[in-house]
Amino acid sequence: MKKILLISLSALLLPACADKKQYEQAVLEQMQKEADIKDYEITPEYMTDCVVDTSSQNMPGIFGLDPKRLMAYRNYSKMLNLTKSEDPKKTLEELSTDFGSAKDLTEARTNYTESLMECYSAVIAKSEADAKEKK
């Protein structure tokens, strides 16, 4: 009985981990393109962790394995990879449907952008505080 429960739980967790990893990968790709990351000498991985954690707080779902949260990870990944799409217009229409409406898609984009700005703010404030301590 324990083996069946363990196998069932594993079957549920693997796709969940994949959805979050896919979102993290999409964010990392965005961070590697950001000029400000290079200018402020921030590692893309550090910013990725910050943005994923911050944006996840405002995603649907109560916890990381909630089906709504898993769908949000998939949708956010798709949103960030919109420029890679062969037919961006069609993908944008799909995203509007996936998120529920164009307004919800806009709110998701806003969540991502605000999370990015919060992370920049936190990193810059930390680096300024570290610089003051060195003096």
Task: Quickly list DSSP for 16-58.
Answer: HHHHHHHHHHHHHHHHHH-HHHHHTT--HHHHHHHHHHHHHTT
Give residue-wise pLDDT tens across range 22-75. 999 999 999 999 998 888 888 999 999 999 999 999 999 887 778 899 999 999
Residues 38, 31: Cα–Cα separation, whole Å: 9
Domain ranges of the chain: 16-134
Sequence-separated (6 or more) residues with CB below 8 Å from residue 62: 69
Q: Residue 3's pLDDT is what?
A: 61
**What is the reported pTM?**
0.82
pLDDT at 8 over 80: no
Per-residue pLDDT band for 116 (boundaries 50, 70, 90) equals: very high
pLDDT given for residue 39 in this prediction: 85
Which pLDDT value is given to residue 63?
A: 77
Q: Is 59 helix (H, G, I), strand (E, B) or coil?
A: coil
Residue-level pLDDT at 14: 42
Q: Which two tokens stand for residue 124?
A: 């810059």
Q: What is the mean pLDDT of residues 67-91?
A: 93
Distance from C-alpha of 122 to C-alpha of 54, rounded to nearest angstrom: 11
